[in-house]
Structure 1
Amino acid sequence: MKAEKEHIDELIVSYLSNELDGNAVHELKEWIAASVENEKYFMQRQEIWFSAISDMKNSIYNKDEAFQLFRKRVDTYQKNKMMRKRLRWKIVYKYVAFISIIGFISYFSYWRGKSNLKNVLTETGIEVETPIGSQTRLRLPDGTIVILNAGSRIIYPQNFGVYNRDVELQGEGYFEVARNIEMPFYVKTKELQVRVLGTKFNFRDYPEDKEVVVSLLEGRIVLNNQLQREEELLLLPNEQVILDKRVKTMKKEWKRDGINIEWITGRLFFDEIPLPEVAQILERNYGVRIKFANDALKKIRFYGNFNKNGQSVRDILEALSATEKVHYTLNDKEIILY
């Protein structure tokens, strides 16, 4: 039994590291589908795995190091589980009758509603959130690379890659999707859904933004408007779609100079964008609050290219002030533009 669990753990780790061949993937999927207990075991181990790699000290991913951390986390989990079990047995005699009734009901609930139980487990998601002023890089179980911008988050099912590859996004994310013809990759927000097989694209949809912007670097993607019924749009490299949240329509355009995703390297590129958009970007990346002394300033557009890792918010404000169209006051984390 122990040897079998160790074998399954090795399969799970290899799968989450995207190093499992076709036959082994089939073996793992058959084992997961064999019982609800196996599915719960897989989801539990997946959570432990992601917890382990998130604590890795090195920025470069190392499977061996990650596996050792995984084993330590599993041992700690088992010890805590045994302690909780011993504690429960100290008081369990008080509730034997009650638990027996619940167990009886649960058995028949499971027997009559196995598919419903499976759906509950499937819908339980893993959430990854990036704080203001930070970026998060993660690797999904299918090998897809995701970089989340400041103030963003994604949610995906615990059994991601087993039955589907569905992701919910809030904010901005850059995706390098691992190709899988049999299982499309979906990214969805309240306003827009993207369907892909394997490609590289950027998806920005912050709740406070007036527009949703999806930009394609490689491959093909299909976009579906979630605000109103509209024909699907096919996007090709160097094209982007802008969904206006107010009028609820999509517009496709071709980017002559290519798609700019410098934010994933820590650069802030302002290409003649309105000052309110500049303010939002600075707020997310530096954790500040920006107020406008008058609405006339909101019509001003700004061009600039900065390195967030080497330049402070004051450096950018000084560049704004150098235009002689905008001045500022900076008090701790609060900025007033006038």
Structure 2
Amino acid sequence: MTNDKSHFEEEIWFSSVSEEQLAKYDKDAAFAAFKKRVAESSKPKVQTHHRLRWLRYAAAVAAVVAVGYFSFKGGQSNVASAFGDIVIEAPQGSRTQMTLPDGTKVCLNAGSRISYSQGFGFSVRLVSLKGEGYFEVTHNEQLPFSVESENVRVKVLGTKFNFRDYPSDAEATVSLTEGSVAMSSTKHPAEDRLLKPGQRAMVDKRTGKIYVENYDVAKSSQWTNGRLIFDGQPLMEIVKTLERSYNVKITISDNRLLTLRFYGDFLRQEQTLREVLDALAATDKIRYDQHGKNITLYYP
């Protein structure tokens, strides 16, 4: 009989009440029964110990993961809030071409400004525009590209379009060359309008209403090649274009001129402002005086 058995027999002996009672038991059978009970009672304890130890490990891992996740999200938030804005301007009388961090190409017209966060492409692709810009957007389904101005917001995946919203204009316009865009006015942000290639949308800044029409959209972006196309625009609009393109100040001295509309096609690199004004005056509808950068238009 092993030492273990002697030990267990002692445990049984000391648990007995009297010799008379002890004589009624078979020692070997009692020892076997005792070992069985010990084995059965100790087994759940081992499992419970392992289970508790596993739960402690799982809780520790979960705590590390949770801390890491919230630290990461907090870090994202802190990094995003720390980003400054990058601002690029095209001065009066010039145009500026640029490529955004995602590869999107932008051409800014004279007197325009574009801004975007240093974190552009990190979680959003959003630019703000004041003036006029032509965009060739790099496709990215996971991160749509957005352009916003004071009056309009445009969302795209990958496309080519012209966006114009000068503060002095009564209307903001979006002309789509390729792809598709969803646009809305800031007065009615929930009312999206979808544009197809060959369509132009005009937004009434006063009411926020959007008008969509089929249009020769190539004309909208010809300014990127230095062309000035006047397709029946009122004189006031033409004056604003000439001021931005040639960096001058033009004054209309007679309100009767405001009803006039003109047609013309000029190449700014080859034709001076005086040549453009001479062409307008050749219609016998206006005359002008020029003193340096100041021009005054008169009724004939």
TM-score, length-scaled by structure 2? 0.73
Partner of 2:222: 262
Shift of 1:125: 1.1
Unmatched 5+ stretches in structure 1? 1-34, 36-109
Partner of 1:117: 78
Question: Aligned pairs, how many?
Answer: 228
Partner of 2:208: 248
Match of 1:325 among 282, 285, 289: 285
Partner of 2:273: 313
SS across alignment from 1:259: helix
Contact 2:125 2:144 survives alignment (8 Å) = yes
Contact 1:154 1:167 survives alignment (8 Å) = yes
Mapped to 2, the partners of 1:247 and 1:271 lie a distance apart of: 25
Residues 319 and 166 of structure 1: CA distance in aligned 2, closer, same or farther (over 3 Å):
same
Write out aligned runs for 1:1-338 (5 A).
114=75, 116-122=77-83, 124-229=84-189, 231-255=191-215, 257-260=216-219, 261-338=221-298
Shift of 1:216: 0.1
* Aligned-partner residue type, residue 266 of structure 2: F
CA displacement 1:12-59 (0-9 Å, x = unmatched): xxxxxxxxxxxxxxxxxxxxxxx9xxxxxxxxxxxxxxxxxxxxxxxx
Mapped to 2, the partners of 1:191 and 1:310 lie a distance apart of: 34
Contact 1:138 1:145 survives alignment (8 Å) = yes
Mapped to 1, the partners of 2:232 and 2:73 lie a distance apart of: 61
Mapped to 2, the partners of 1:297 and 1:206 lie a distance apart of: 22
* Aligned-partner residue type, residue 97 of structure 2: R
* Aligned-partner residue type, residue 223 of structure 1: M
Name whichever structure is richer in strand by fraction: 2
Mapped to 2, the partners of 1:250 and 1:156 lie a distance apart of: 26
Mapped to 1, the partners of 2:121 and 2:133 lie a distance apart of: 19
TM-score, length-scaled by structure 1? 0.65
Mapped to 2, the partners of 1:308 and 1:195 lie a distance apart of: 32
SS across alignment from 1:154: strand
Name whichever structure is richer in helix by fraction: 1
Identity of aligned residues (%): 44
Instruction: State the structure with more CA Rg.
Output: 2
Mapped to 2, the partners of 1:230 and 1:248 lie a distance apart of: 12
Runs of 4+ with deviation above 3 angstroms: 110-116
CA displacement 1:172-192 (0-9 Å, x = unmatched): 000000000110000001111
Residues 310 and 114 of structure 1: CA distance in aligned 2, closer, same or farther (over 3 Å):
same
Mapped to 2, the partners of 1:202 and 1:238 lie a distance apart of: 11
Mapped to 2, the partners of 1:229 and 1:159 lie a distance apart of: 24
Residues 226 and 299 of structure 1: CA distance in aligned 2, closer, same or farther (over 3 Å):
same
Contact 1:216 1:236 survives alignment (8 Å) = yes
Mapped to 1, the partners of 2:217 and 2:161 lie a distance apart of: 12
Mapped to 1, the partners of 2:149 and 2:169 lie a distance apart of: 13
